[in-house]
A and B are shown apart, each in its own frame.
Chain A
Amino acid sequence: MPELNAFLSPLCALVVAPLVLGIINRTKAFVAGRRGPPLLQPYRDVAKGLRRGAVYGEATSALVRLGPVVNLGALVAGLLLLPFASVPAVIAFPGDVIVLVGLLALGRFATVLAALDTGSSFEGMGASREVHYAAMAEPALLLALATLTRVTGASSLTAIYGGIGVSTWGHALPTLALVAMTFLVLELVENSRIPADDPTTHLELTMIHEVMVLDHTGPDLALIQYGAALKLWLLGMLFVGLVVPLHGGNLWLDGGAALLGMAGLALVIGVVESAMARYRLVHVPQFIVGAATLSAVGFIVLLV
């Protein structure tokens, strides 16, 4: 039976995750000179969706209804594996890094199936692009986690992030910096952020992730939006746990530092989205393979 403390991490994620989206949107608006939506707007969007009824196409099967639920379930399960600051995860066992990657893949698979099930050609196109990127982003994530495993000698997320401290940065600086950069790129790519995909585009032809969920309505859409916030949190925490490796023992201080790190990451994403243009579709794989290479270099440097 895990400690009661351990449930703080998923609980915190469930409550705070949409706020991160709010901070990103607010930052983008600020840089563009607008006031922007309220910080709590993502919560309202989710609540609005949940109040509504759902409409399903006549040609669809149960897969469309299953997609958002499975996706959200996989992400919540992933959160249970994720340590938070100095708090260990609810479930931790050797090798759970691979389970985390598998859960992310399962969530994506469910979303893709739901998109294909609607029979819309746009959604099929979006699904194809999403899987195309995922085929490169997943090895990148595995490589980054494998490198961390190599640095700390542990294969459970809790042990890995517990083993990374300020002293680890001292003797494995290049490797950890490279892995952190990989995580940052993955956070952008996997959450359909700007250099790879544009979350606010209104043209189906240019969409990637958004086009897959066009035919979802009401509660389903709310679950998808909430799931997107959770995924942003999950991958963001992998980055923040690495960059803010504080384990002072004081739960409030460490937790506060991690939350501040998360807010900082949201600011960085907002600035990146404002400053960069989206890559052409053919250049995104190059971007992802480049990120994977960073981790590969980090790994090889460790072998010395």
Chain B
Amino acid sequence: MATSLATIHALGLLTCFALLGTSRIGACIRWLSLQGILFSLVPVLTYDDGLTLRIILLAGGNIALKGVLFPLVLLHLRARTNYHREVEPFVGFVASILFGVVALAVSLGLARELQPALSHAPFLMLEAAIFLVSIGLFLIVSRRNALMQVIGYLVIENGIFVFAVITVVETPLLVELGILLDAFVAVFVMGIAVFHITREFGTADVDQLTTLRG
């Protein structure tokens, strides 16, 4: 179990770095899908009582939403907005990757501080959760394209999911599914918003939103 958690952890970190270093939106969406699937497997590996119905629903629902449905919605949106690249991010790609390394070190330190309070949580996943949240926030503030910001939001959502799974052992299934539903609605609302923005302004570049047209 420890090895498979470590493998998920390493692969998950790599998807984050791929998101930081890729300019093509389509590739980013696919990395996001892989990341969603990887971290959906965390409850299967961390809960000791085997494959209960609850865990299957939780992991399956996550994979269906974050691994399949959200990427499909985003890919569809990308095709509609005809916007395929993050051309000029506020922070360059090399600098973003270097930020990722620093963020990884910082989240390692934070996870060390948190570990005594959450002694039953696997350390690797604690660190991954903090790292995912910081990378998602960074993507939101450093990218111009509205689609990349939706991707950043979903990375944060992945982080929160991991954190919830490892820290709160007995979350009612209803609450978990409720959170999933929230994310689902949020992605749809954001998708509609991005679509309308591109139709009104002719671009998904959020920097252009200040140029109002009457």
A174 touches B6 (CB 8 A): yes
Report the contact-size class of chain B (Cβ under 8 Å from the partner): 20 to 34
B104 touches A297 (CB 8 A): yes
B83, CB-defined interface residue at 8 Å: no
A293 touches B10 (CB 8 A): no
A301 touches B21 (CB 8 A): no
Contacts of B94 in A (CB 8 A): 285-286, 289
Contacts of B13 in A (CB 8 A): 297, 301
Contacts of A293 in B (CB 8 A): 17, 97-98, 100-101
Least distance between B127 CB and chain A CB atoms (Å): 7
The contact string, 1 if C-beta is below 8 Å from chain B, for chain A 1-36, is 000000000000000000000000000000000000
A63 to B157, CA, bound (A): 59
Least distance between A14 CB and chain B CB atoms (Å): 38
B187, CB-defined interface residue at 8 Å: no
Least distance between A267 CB and chain B CB atoms (Å): 25
A301 to B11, CA, bound (A): 11
Q: A173-B7, A300-B104, A301-B9 known; A286 and B21 CB under 8 Å? A: yes
A57 to B9, CA, bound (A): 57
Give the total number of A-B pairs whose CB atoms are below 8 A apart: 52
A171 to B9, CA, bound (A): 14
Partner of A296, one of B3, B101, B124: B101
Q: A174-B7, A301-B6 known; A290 and B127 CB under 8 Å? A: no
A304 to B3, CA, bound (A): 13
B108 touches A290 (CB 8 A): no
Least distance between B4 CB and chain A CB atoms (Å): 10
The contact string, 1 if C-beta is below 8 Å from chain A, for chain B 130-161, is 00000000000000000000000000000000
Contacts of A285 in B (CB 8 A): 94
Chain A positions within 8 Å of B, measured between CB atoms, are 170-171, 173-175, 177-178, 285-286, 289-290, 293-294, 296-298, 300-301, 303-304
A-B contact pairs, 24 of them (CB 8 A): A170-B3, A171-B3, A173-B3, A173-B6, A174-B9, A174-B10, A174-B11, A177-B10, A178-B10, A289-B94, A290-B21, A293-B97, A293-B101, A297-B10, A297-B13, A297-B101, A298-B10, A300-B101, A300-B105, A300-B108, A301-B10, A301-B13, A304-B108, A304-B123
